[in-house]
Each structure stands twice: as C-alpha cells, then as structure tokens.
Structure 1
C-alpha cells in the first residue's frame, strides 16, 4: 500500500513532503533544473535524480537530492558536446555558402540521430532491468519532473503511471509550443537554428519562407526521431501509441519563457510560463570583485560570457574582441578559458532572461543552435545588437559596443521590457512551485489537458467532416439536377400529347 505523505504545518503555511523523480537534461538545462530542485528541497520534498554515467554537469553528490546512476551514455558527455559544438562553431566560421550550410545541416542530422539512438538504448536498458524498475515502483514517487528533450523521463512517467511535469523550451520535436499548442504558420515564426529573421508580422514571401523552414523541421523529425522512438514506444506501450502522445499527455508544461521574449501566440490551459524563475536580486560581490567593479567609476562594467557549452572562441576572434574592449573606458568581466588575450552574451535563453530581469541591454554573438533566433527576438524589441561570428572584427565589434553603450534607447527599451517581465501577480518561481505541488496534491492535472492530441490530423482539422459535407452537397446537387432533367423530359412529353 502506498505510504501517505507527511503533512507538516508551519505558522501560516502548509505543505507535504513528497517524493519527486527527476530526469534532467545535462548542460545549461541542468543549471535551470537545479534551481528548481533547490527550491523543492527547501520546501521539504525528497528528490531523486536519474543521471547517466557520462553526465557532465549533473553531479553524483548533492545536499539537495539522492541519485540513481544508469550505466549508459546519452551522447551529452563533456567530450561529446565539446566535439559537437567545436564542429558547429568551425562550420559557422567558414565562408557561408549553400554547400557549407548543407554540410552543417547534414552533420547536425547525423549527430541528432546518434544522440536519439543513445537515449533510446538507455530507456531500453532501464525498462529491461527488472530490479531497477521494481525499485522505482517501490519508492512510491508522487511525481516525475523531466526535461522533454530527454525521452527517458516522459516514458518512465508513463511506465510507472505517475503524474508528469515538464520543464520546457525544446523537445525532441522542436520548440515546445509547436508540440502542444495550435501554431498557425501565418503569424508564428518557427524557432530554429536556421537564420530566419521572421517576426509575427510576415509578408507573403516571409510566410513562404516560414513554411519551408517548418517543412524542414518536419523532415528533421522524420529522419532523426521517428525511426528511433516509434519502434521503442510500440514495443513497450503498444502499436497504437505514438511517442509524441506521451509527451502531449503531460500534466503541466513549465515553459522557460514568457511574452516579453515570445511573440504573442495561442497556448494551452496546462502551459505555465515561468521565465526568469532562476533570476534573483543582485547580491553583494566578493571584496576583490567589488573593488574591481568600483574602480570603473561612472563608466560601469561589461560582462561577457559564452554560456555552458563553449569555453572559448578561436584565438584570432578573441584578440579582435579584446582589442575592441581595450578602446572603451568600461571594465570588462570575461568568463574565459584558454590562452589569455594580449591586452558579451552568446544568446542562450538563460542569459537573455537574466538580462531582461536586470534591465541590461545586450550585444549578441550567437554561435549555434537557437541563439541566432533568440537574439533576433531581442533585436526587434530594440534591446540588443547582434553580430555575425563569421565577419566580426575589432572595428565592427567596437562600433556595435559604442552604439549600445551611448545610445539611451537600448537601455530604455530594456528597462521597459524588464518592468513588463517583473509586473506579475506571482513570482515565476512561486508559480512553478505552486503547479508542481498542485499536481502532487491532485495526482495530476488531467482536467487541463485537451483531447486534441488523441486526434489524427484528419480529425483535428475536420477533413473527414469537410469531405462528408462536400459529398452530401455534391449528391444533393446531383439529385437536384437529375430531378430537373426528369421534369424537363416530362414537360416535353406533355406538349407533344397536346
């Protein structure tokens, strides 16, 4: 029999100690997930993290969670990711041509297919391990908290018949909204690593471009995901189950963005926006860093970071950027690994959300994945300048930097965006915690899930209804014309008799 959760009462509060099985994605997504786990731990919940043996950021020791290590690779080890990102960066630095782009996209397709294959092998290894599965069942977890880019979390939740909460920006089928919510291509640009530069106001040719990009993303899914996950899900959940139905059946989707970043679009009742949940008010700096910052005087400080995946830029570009920094009076804090240069943001959603939260304008140097698309969204809002890594030099970098520093419109626009982001009835972290605990209390949130994902495309778009009605109309027209013909012949015969 399932153990009842322990109810703890504090003055003015009430919460339950319950068990959460966490299946995260490594890298920057784990940085986000860890913030949620620390908050859940502070509320008394018991956390168990499922991690592969080649995990990079997900450590096997933590005061906030227990862990289960699966002796398997997911393709997200430090070596794998470093090699993949280095290859992508090198491709970006080469002369941009059609053939270069095709080579880059083909390399991406092969890499994604291999990663998906490793994920599927990990799932199969888990499901075939009867001892592990029995231990997971006996642990009486109340919830699975997962990143939908890792298929294991979604499939495990359904295998264990547990409520499922997803922390989302991307899934194995692209951006989260396109999986769960209506997404008309007439005014919703497809988020992608392709430099689309599309907004929610598109001309005819831009809509054509958006349709072509969408078609390519569907080809990516067909090539990299369907051949891997369809047979896997058919094996363990039955031949009538499509793997994306299991994603769409999740109780709550915690979206790591909001409409200060997204263009306005349709959503769903079980989608909760928690952009900026990881952001916190500024804290006092260490003595050494405080002295450095204060030494900048009225000019202030520039912070440059390349995110979790890219440790350093090529040496020639590093030297050009360093030379540009040397010509401005601001002090520079630069997260850098490698040879120190002789004498910025990359576009991941974490850095963008922190910039919005603190009201700081951005100079963008997008490198890979969705970073180009992310920064374009900031640029059209007038809060960022974006540079091309393949053409940047000290003059271009310095000109963009000075424009950002000395034209007040960028800071004013970002301040306005920050005010919109902060003006909410509930803090993003509190909102995330409420909905996670809501699912725990009610053993799910099925009343918020639409039936749309259970429909085929023919049913969803009422194509069968349209064909039925058109057939009726055609039959009615045929009968009407037939009747007129019969009446016409009858009239002729009557005239002849007369």
Structure 2
C-alpha cells in the first residue's frame, strides 16, 4: 500500500508539472549564424532546441568553415560564395601575430586597429552581399515566407540576420555579446564611460582621470567604425530592401530578446535591460570520461598533475620561435602537458608533452588532474575554465581576448602574458606563479561556485526565452523605446533648455518689475522734494 501511495503522489505531481509548465509546440526557427567559434556556441543551442522538437533552418555560405550543409539538427540553405572570399581572415590573423611580436608602440596600435577595422568592414560587406543575393532571388524569398517561421535566431557580430528578419517581419532573438561594432550593452543600455570600459580599452571599472580619457578615445574608435566603416554597407542594404529605410543599430535595438553569453561573475557590474538574458557558460556541462589512452597519459602525471594548452579554433600555431620557447619551458616541468598545436613540431619538446590536433577541452578542464589552462582568452574557453575552476594563463591575440582575460586577472584567477613579451624566462615565470600560488586556484574556484549557484541553468534560461518569443510572437513589452528618442530628448537637453529659459525669463521679469517700482518710487520722492 505504501508503494502504491508513493507512486500515486509521484504521478499526481508529474501531471501537475506537465499541466502548469508553459509549453511551446514545435516551432519553426530560421537561423542566420556567424561562422567560426561563434558557431560552436550556436550549434550547442540548436542541439537543445532540436531536442525540444523545434524545426530549424540554417542559412550558410558555400565556403563555410564549420557549418555543415547536412546535419541531423537542421536543414540548410546554402548561398554560393567565391572561395577566395574567406582568405582575408587568415591573412589578417597572421599579420596580427607578426605585428604583435614586434612589440607595443603607437605605430603598432594604429596598424592593428586599422587592419582590424578593414578586415571587419570587408566581412560585413561580404555578408551584406549574401543577404542581397537572398532577397534578389524571388523564389527563395517566396520559400522563406511560405515556411512561416516563428522567429529569426541570429548572431549580430556580423548582422545580416537582423536585416533579413526585418524584411520578413519576424521577431528576433540575438545570441550575442558582440555586435557589428563593439559590445551589445552599448547599443541598448545606459553605458556611462566613467566606469564602463569600452571594448579594446584594456580597462576595468575603476578608472582614474587619464584612463577615462583613454576610455573615451576607444569608444570614439568604435563610433567611427560604426558610422564610416560598417554602417554604410548596411545602410545601402536597408535603403534598397526595407521600406522607409533603417540603420543597423536601430535594427539591433528592435530585437526582442538578447541572449548574452556572459554573466556578472565574469562581467563588471553595469546597467542592463529587461530583454537581456544572461546565459554565460550555457555550453558547460560536467566532464565526461576521457578516451582510455588520454586518461592513461593524464594519470601518469601523478601528484604533479597536467597543464593543457589550446589557442582556440582559429589559431593553429604560434610563430615558430615562440613555440620553441614554450616547448622548452614545458620540457622542464614535472607536470604532463597536453598541447593542441597544428604547426611545425617544436624541437624543444620533452617526453612529458603530448601534441594533439584536437582535445576534449571541456572534459580535460573538468579532470581533477588539470592544474592550469594556457589559453588565448576566447569566450568559450574562459567560461569553461570558470565553470571547472581552473586558473588561466592567457596569451591574447585579437578581438575581445585581452578584455576577457583582464576580467580574470582583475579577480586574481588568471595572468596575462603579451605575445610581444613571451620568451622562455617570462613564460616559465608566469607558469610557475599560477601553478604554485594557491590564490589563483582558490579565486577561480570561488568564481566557479558563484557561477554554478543559479536558480535556473543558463541553457534552460536560453531555451525558455526563445520559446517565450515564439509563444507570444515577440516581446516588445520588454524592449525600451529610448532608442527612438533623439539624443537631446534622451538626455533631457530640451527640457533643461526650456526650464533655463523659463527661469531666465522669470528672473528678468522680476528684475524689470523691481526696476520699474524703484523708478516710480524715485520719481515720487523727487516730486515731493520739489
């Protein structure tokens, strides 16, 4: 009887949970992703959406790096693109590494900035051409309309997806932190430059006067990039295909939900908005067992543990002289080393170092033998290191990597080594510091505990809000209307001017009355005296 009673209660609560949980019948989602490491995150989200019964269509280009044409998760729409169009990023990356090795200087900074803006402008221009190709194809447009999509899920780092969504009149969910120029918060939330560091500035939320000047300078670079380098490509697209025209920033501001791949364990505190959902680390899961041969190698490290090193999906190898220096340092260490490296094998490697083309990074970070993660500072790797509580030695190479690593360093959970400064001595010194100062691991584990202590898992948050937009056909009630206001209204300059004018008129009127009364009083006194 007791067993039947327990089973009855279980069934009752299960039925209640099903009845009272908001449901979303399988939706129809159009995805316009960004390739590279951004796709790695997007695909994880798509796997979960597919598992929940949603139908997914992905728009990709024919020379995509990672987005496969055939997948059990989605059907794809492939846009033909010239094979040569992908070469510019590799050229840019190698030039960035070469220039950084020359050392920091004003000339180096301006060259890196110019090359970055030029490369990004080219990428935006190419993707705008992709959207134009779609919208010029009447059959494709008809097919997209007839498919009756519920929403567009897109990554606005390069933002043709929001233009397409505007054309199709569909709600938009942005899987973001980075937008066409800069960081998403700056487009939608109050962002005082007095304590919110601009991307690329290398600053924290504690700035002195000189640093605030620097912050304003970096913000000006972002505004220049948006206005003159990125904006024109999208302006032309909007003028041609969107009735009444538009601009890319206003389209981003119209998004229904922003899935921010960050959280305030990692990010500096700042103002935000109701339609921003923080899903940092949503790709993180408990570690799975390693392959047998890799587990044997890891266990052979004994009490000394393992160091792992990876510079992400885009960087196959460091300059050879740097790789040789790093290899020689690893050879001295009592730890075992697993190094993802596709370049020429360094001649200085010791028997303790295993070179691999690919590694199960998440599972290695979650292994109790892993002591330090040598990384480039990409968002995925940083969030996975936080989740598993592994301190980081960062070698930032481009984009947001320095800013990501700075946030770890500021919290005592990582150390940054600039590529221009790396040699055998500096790398060994940094490695020994992070390995043997307990504060690094303690601080990172504290961040891990804070990150994991959430009422709802980040992935569940992301799925809920995607389905929320589908259920309600958008979420305009969560979106601020501030972006529609002219700047002088937003900052109440017009109100201030009217109030100052009224106060001035009142003061002048009062003075005029007093003057008039004084004059009359003076004339009466003079008349009596006469």
TM-score range, shorter chain: over 0.9
Q: CA deviation at 1:405?
A: 0.8
1:236, distance to aligned residue in structure 2 (A): 2.6
Structure 1 or 2, whichever has the larger Rg, is 2
Partner in structure 1 of residue 401 of structure 2: 371
Structure-2 separation of matches of 1:235 and 1:70: 20
1:121 to partner: Cα distance: 1.8
Write out aligned runs for 1:309-388 (5 A).
309-342=314-347, 343=349, 344-388=374-418
Following TM superposition, by how much is the alpha carbon of 1:230 offset from its aligned partner in structure 2, in angstroms? 2.1
Superposed displacement of residue 75, structure 1: 8.8
Q: Distance in 2 between matches of 1:375 and 1:426?
A: 26
Q: Does 1:272 align with 2:277?
A: yes
The residue number in structure 1 matching 2:496 is: 466
Contact 2:231 2:247 in 1 (8 A): no
Alignment pair present for 1:89 and 2:97: yes
Partner of residue 509 from structure 2, selected from 470, 479, 488: 479
Q: CA deviation at 1:227?
A: 2.1
- What is the CA-CA distance between 1:86 and the residue it aligns to? 0.9
Task: Summarize the alignment of residues 243-258 of structure 1 with structure 2, pairs less than 5 Å apart.
Answer: 243-258=248-263
Query: What SS class does the counterpart of residue 17 from structure 1 fall into?
Result: coil
Equivalent residue, structure 1, for 2:144: 136
Distance 1:61 1:333 in 2: 32
What SS class does the counterpart of residue 489 from structure 2 fall into? Answer: helix
Structure 2, gaps ≥5 residues long:
1-13, 350-373
For 2:103 and 2:271, locate their aligned partners in 1 and report how far apart those are by CA, in whole Å: 39
- Counterpart CA distance in 1 for 2:412 and 2:379 is 17
Deviation, structure 1 residue 238 = 4.1
Whether the 8 Å contact between 1:113 and 1:223 is mirrored in structure 2 is no
| 1:303 match: secondary structure | strand
Kindly indicate whether the alpha-carbon contact (under 8 Å) linking 1:148 and 1:172 is maintained by their aligned counterparts in 2: yes
| Contact 1:26 1:76 survives alignment (8 Å) | no
**2:228 paired with 1:223:** yes
Q: Please state how far the C-alpha of 1:166 moved relative to its aligned partner.
A: 0.4
1:110 counterpart = 2:118: yes
CA distance, structure 2, for counterparts of residue 481 and residue 59 of structure 1: 78
Please list, as runs of the form range in 1=range in 2, the aligned pairs for 1:391-410 lying within 5 A after superposition. 391-410=421-440
Check the 8 A contact 1:52/1:74 in 2, yes or no: no
1:188 aligns with 2:218: no
Give the structure 1 partner of residue 61 of structure 2: 52
Q: TM-score, normalised by structure 2?
A: 0.89
Gaps of 5+ in 1: 1-9
Q: Deviations over 1:75-127 (max 9, x none)?
A: 973x3321221111111111322122222222222222222222222222222
Q: Is the 8 A contact 1:20 1:46 kept in 2?
A: yes
**d(CA) in 1 for partners of 2:176, 2:449:** 24
How many residues of Structure 1 are paired with residues of Structure 2 in the alignment? 485
> Normalization by structure 1: what TM-score?
0.94
| Of 120, 136, 143, the match for 2:128 | 120
Residue 211 (str. 1) matches residue 216 (str. 2):
yes
Alpha-carbon deviation of 1:293?
0.7
Alignment CA distance shift 1:379-1:114 (3 Å): same
Does the CA-based 8 Å contact 1:48-1:68 persist in structure 2? yes
With over 3 angstroms needed to count, the CA separation of the structure-2 counterparts of 1:237 and 1:467, relative to structure 1, is farther
CA distance in 1, matches of 2:251, 2:480: 13
- CA distance in 2 between partners of 1:170 and 1:438 (Å): 23
Deviation of 1:254 (Å) = 0.1
In structure 1, the partner of 2:356 is none
**1: CA distance between counterparts of 2:232 and 2:473?**
33
Deviations 1:264-297 (A, max 9, x none): 0010000000001011110011111111111111
CA distance in 2, matches of 1:296, 1:366: 28
Q: State how far apart, in whole Å, the 1-side matches of 2:79 and 2:481 are.
A: 35
1:31 is matched with which residue?
40
The answer for the alignment partner of 2:352 in structure 1 is: none
The answer on whether the counterparts of 1:73 and 1:119 sit within 8 Å (CA) in structure 2 is: no
CA contact (8 A) 2:304 2:335 kept: yes
CA distance, structure 1, for counterparts of residue 346 and residue 83 of structure 2: 35
Paired residue for 2:290, among 276, 280, 285?
Answer: 285
Residues 350-385 of structure 1 deviation map (CA, whole Å, 9 limit, x = unaligned): 100000000000011111111111111110100001
Change (3 A) 1:369 1:138: same
Q: Which moved more, 1:36-45 or 1:228-237?
A: 228-237
The whole-number CA distance in structure 2 between the counterparts of 1:67 and 1:145 is 14
Question: 22, 38, 59: which one pairs with 2:31?
Answer: 22
Query: Residues of 1 paired with 2:199 and 2:111: CA distance?
Result: 21
CA distance in 2 between counterparts of 1:54 and 1:118 reads 12
2:166 corresponds to: 158
SS at match of 1:326: helix
Q: Distance in 2 between matches of 1:409 and 1:391?
A: 24
In structure 1, distance between residues paired with 2:244 and 2:465: 33
Deviation at 1:156, TM superposition (A): 1.1
Contact 1:75–1:118 (Cα < 8 Å) also in 2: no
C-alpha distance in 1 between matches for 2:310 and 2:224: 33
